[in-house]
Amino acid sequence: MNYPVVTSIQLRAVLRAMRKSRALSQEKVGQLLGVNQKRVARIESTPGVAGFDQIARLVSVLGGRLVIEAADPTPGPTGTTNKRKSRKATPTVAGKRGHW
């Protein structure tokens, strides 16, 4: 099953759900990771401050894998994508008058 994660709050819920679905305690996960139970609890409660390596190892221990997926560009109103177009800087009316 895939779990799209955009925020650290979502990651917190996914990590906890993955651990519980495998009937693992924080203590057991800590043993598998080589850290104590308190560290596992901190990673689960605030994954946004944990390092990528720790998150990746935790996800792996829980039987998951991290995947980065490129989002499709959103079509604009005329069917074009909302990519920023490169254009030359042109002075505005204020710029012509010396007001920036």
In which band, very low, low, confident or very high, does the pLDDT at 81 lie, cut at 50, 70 and 90?
low
- The ranges assigned to domains in the chain are 8-61
Does pLDDT of 11 surpass 60? yes
pLDDT of amino acid 55: 95
Mean pLDDT value across the chain: 83
Backbone phi and psi for residue 75, each to the nearest 5 degrees, phi listed first? -65, 140
> Which residues, including other chains, have CB under 8 Å from residue 63's CB and lie 6 or more apart?
18, 22
pTM exceeding 0.75: no
pLDDT at 44: 96
Q: For 19, phi and psi rounded to 5 degrees?
A: -65, -45
pLDDT of residue 100: 40
